[in-house]
Amino acid sequence: MKSLGILLITLFLSLSVFAKETESKTFLVLFKSKELKSLNTSMKEIQSQFSSAFKIRTYAGNSELAMIINIPECEFDACFLGQFLVSLDKGENMKLQEIAFRLIDMTANKKSLDTYLTAFEANQHKKKIDKRNTTPAP
């Protein structure tokens, strides 16, 4: 009985070690100010609808309006986020992907960038080694 208890505890501890935690995701949503004006809505109204559930940051400047959405521990992708409904002034609802100019999954793009950078650095390192080996010593 004692060995069975130790076996169960060891089993649960080993399973918890191998459990994969879901990571938070970051999405960049770009808007065109003309489109928001034509829909009689603003970034603040859209932000208020998402801020109760997610961490939101907005940026406005000389280019497109931007909203960064941090979603902790999720399995979302840009398509799923685009399906969220946004309430407009007239009482109608529209999908976020219909209002937004672009929806970008920054987490997926960061992984792709890291892969490309690793490959580039390996290629540069290989060229450097090849150059050392082919250059004759004086």
Q: Tell me which residue has tokens 């840009």.
A: 78
Among the four given CATH numbers 3.30.200, 1.25.40, 1.10.1670, 3.30.2090, the one describing domain 20-119: 3.30.2090
For the segment 16-43, what is each residue's pLDDT rounded down to a tens digit? 666 566 678 888 899 998 998 888 888 8
Q: What is the model's pLDDT at position 22?
A: 63
pLDDT category at 3 given cuts 50, 70, 90 is confident
Strands (E) in 16-126, as ranges, are 25-31, 55-59, 65-71, 85-87, 93-95, 102-105
Domain ranges for the chain, please list them. Answer: 20-119
What pairs with residue 57 in β-bridges?
68
For the segment 68-118, what is each residue's pLDDT rounded down to a tens digit? 898 887 777 888 888 888 888 778 889 988 998 889 888 887 788 788 888
Q: What is 61-86 written as a DSSP string? A: SSS-EEEEEEESS----HHHHHT-EE
- Model confidence at 137: pLDDT above 60: no
